[in-house]
Amino acid sequence: MTEKPLSIVVLISGSGSNLQAIIDALYKQPVNAQIKAVISNKAEALGLERARKAGIDCAVIDHTEFADRLSFDQAMMLEIDRHEPELVILAGFMRILSNEFVDHYYGRMINIHPSLLPDFKGLNTHQRALDAGRTKHGVSVHFVSNELDGGPVIAQAEVAINTNDDAESLRLKVQQQEHIIYPKVTQWFAERRLKLDNQSVYFDHEKLLKPLLLNPRPSSK
């Protein structure tokens, strides 16, 4: 008997390039997972069109129509839970989540962040890495916790920072790695190889002492 596909809901606010990378990976590889819905807080998000082209159900819940963050999050939870997801993926969802929301999906919600966490939490990570004089930068995929960009890190990928890099060139190098690492972590979750237990990440039943490093020859140009 074939195991039921892992049910996924993806939350977006913008272009959805990481969503597209995950959609493409699910089509190309024999991953037992299905994106049941893509939900955005912005009707104009390009990622919604990407989802529609892939035949995925879409919904828009406009955060500006709610009196506060909690009421918005409660409406989001109602819509998400209609699809009974085993995994919720934040793919450029630009809203700070309430504790109630995070607790509801704890252990089954992941996020991608453009830095080598715990360095450079928050925004403007590429310029901050340059200003700090770093020689490497990268991307992290982590379980979501109530600390902003502070949940247990699952995997990372590194890129070299060169003397001629600026924030935009660095963003493009990091984004290239994002499109590799996020589908890979999604695949691991679908294969039941990943688990969060007592704030620790387990991969193939072994506790991770540090994030898995995926470094598929990042460009140094």
Q: Using DSSP bridges, classify how beta strands 206-207 and 200-203 pair: parallel, antiparallel or unpaired.
A: antiparallel
- For the chain, the 3-state helix, strand and coil shares in percent, each to the nearest 5, are 35, 25, 40
Give the number of other CB atoms < 10 A from CB of residue 32: 14
Q: Which of 19, 23, 89 is nearest to 47 (CA)?
A: 19
First to last CA, the chain: 48
The residues, ordered by sequence, that sit 6+ positions from 217 with a Cβ below 8 Å of its Cβ are none
Token couple for 2: 């074939």
Give the number of other CB atoms < 10 A from CB of residue 3: 8
In the set 63, 83, 104, 113, the catalytic residue is 113
36, 59 in Cβ contact below 8 A?
no
Residue 118, amino acid:
P
User: Where does residue 57 fall: left (phi above 0), alpha (psi -120 to 50 degrees), or beta otherwise?
Assistant: beta
Catalytic residue check, 63: no
Annotated catalytic sites, by residue?
113
